[in-house]
Amino acid sequence: MTGAACALYASRAGLDVIVVDRGPVAGGTTGAGEGNLLVSDKEPGPELDLALLSNRLWGELAQEFGEAIEYEAKGGVVVATSPGSLTALEHFADGQRAAGVVAETVAGDALYALEPHLAPGLPGAVHYPQDSQVMPALAAAHLVRTSGARLLTGRAVTEVLRTTDGTVRGVRTHSGDIHTPAVVNAAGTWGGELATLAGTSLPVLPRRGFVLVTETLPRMVHHKVYAADYVADVASDSAALQTSPVVEGTAAGPILIGASRERVGFDRSVPLPALRALAAGATRLFPFLSDVRAIRSYAGFRPYMPDHLPAIGPDPRVPGLFHACGHEGAGIGLATGTGHLIAQVLTAKTPGLDLAPFRPDRFPEETP
């Protein structure tokens, strides 16, 4: 998704773009994503600024692409499960409002007017109308197609070509070299490997997540609904399983239940406990789901960075190399802003946001 957005904005900035992927379009984490365009889960700071920029750009793309990318400005509802957590949630929302987020506290009947099937007796929630949704695989495919970029799928990059002074001059693939003066690393969870190929380092780690998908239902859940402890999970450094359900209905009918988080490397086996925890969380929020059947689940590997911020911008260690990866679970949402900023730095414009917090070389060199 991030690569597709970079391709779109770079080509609109007048650049000639080639998209190279070792798999198909949306074959990595994009194809396993829910398509969350969230501001609600971000605390004030550089990531929220990027999310607000991205949110605005997604709104523009929605005008252009219409239903093809299944954009839906459905809004988010963050539920407090105890009076104490409602207080914490309201305090959190105050900070977000100051940063430009629209957040409305809802309680009692107002909450159940938003989501009639929520469990009874919940103290309250915060409604975030800016939270939106796209279908990530469709969005990636349509952005690439509209960009006019040359799309080379099934081509793995085996080497980043550099001149004797270390400047990037293209990439080598198993079926030929591609010469370009700039290379954008949008390899997501595998962005660390690409950085290594370019002779530098980027600490991108996989963080596994599962999403449960139910049978098709009439619309019973209208927003992205999740419990307040989600916010704590995102900022957590714990490697233990932490599950907080994001429950949402989709235009196509199924309900998606997502956001388990584990740092277990690239393990694709199916652990029943993680799926049980998702189901338990979802049925606590929406008791009617107990009788609804899960028909599948899918796993993805979020690109996780030690400080939970992506790497965006030029790599001062390798001239000509730009990074656009490490967005953890927010990559779909942050893709537009990232692509826009990358296009600005590629064309030597001043980026619309300060890129200092996203500097790729902000981490100490790894000592192998």
**Binds other proteins (CB under 8 A): choice among 78, 122, 141, 221:** 141
| CB nearer other proteins, residue 156 or residue 270 | 270
Least Å from the CB of residue 246 to other proteins: 15
CA–CA gap between residue 320 and residue 350 (Å, rounded)? 17
| Cβ atoms within 10 Å, residue 44 | 16
Q: Which of residues 200-219 bind other proteins (CB under 8 A)?
A: 212-216
Evaluate whether 177 touches 158 at the Cβ level (below 8 Å): no
Task: Tokens for 198, please give them.
Answer: 């370019």
Q: Which of residues 267-326 bind other proteins (CB under 8 A)?
A: 268-270, 272, 275-276, 279-280, 282-283, 289-298
Least Å from the CB of residue 94 to other proteins: 34
Binding mask 15-44 for other proteins (x = CB under 8 A): ---------xxxx---x-------------
Evaluate whether 129 touches 102 at the Cβ level (below 8 Å): yes
Binding mask 230-249 for other proteins (x = CB under 8 A): --------------------
Q: Is residue 137 at the binding interface for other proteins, with CB under 8 A as the rule?
A: yes
Rounded to 5°, angle at Cα 356 from 353 and 362 = 150
* SS3 assignment, position 213: strand
Q: Is residue 174 at the binding interface for other proteins, with CB under 8 A as the rule?
A: no
* SS3 assignment, position 184: strand
Least Å from the CB of residue 19 to other proteins: 10
| CB nearer other proteins, residue 243 or residue 344 | 243
Strands across the sheet with 124-128, in order? 104-106, 124-128, 76-80, 224-227, 242-249, 254-261, 205-216
* SS3 assignment, position 40: coil
Least Å from the CB of residue 215 to other proteins: 6
**Residue 261, phi then psi, degrees to nearest 5:** -135, 120
CA–CA gap between residue 197 and residue 318 (Å, rounded)? 11
Least Å from the CB of residue 87 to other proteins: 28
* SS3 assignment, position 243: strand
Binding site for other proteins (CB under 8 A): 24-27, 31, 137-138, 141-142, 144-145, 151, 153-154, 212-216, 252, 254, 257, 268-270, 272, 275-276, 279-280, 282-283, 289-298
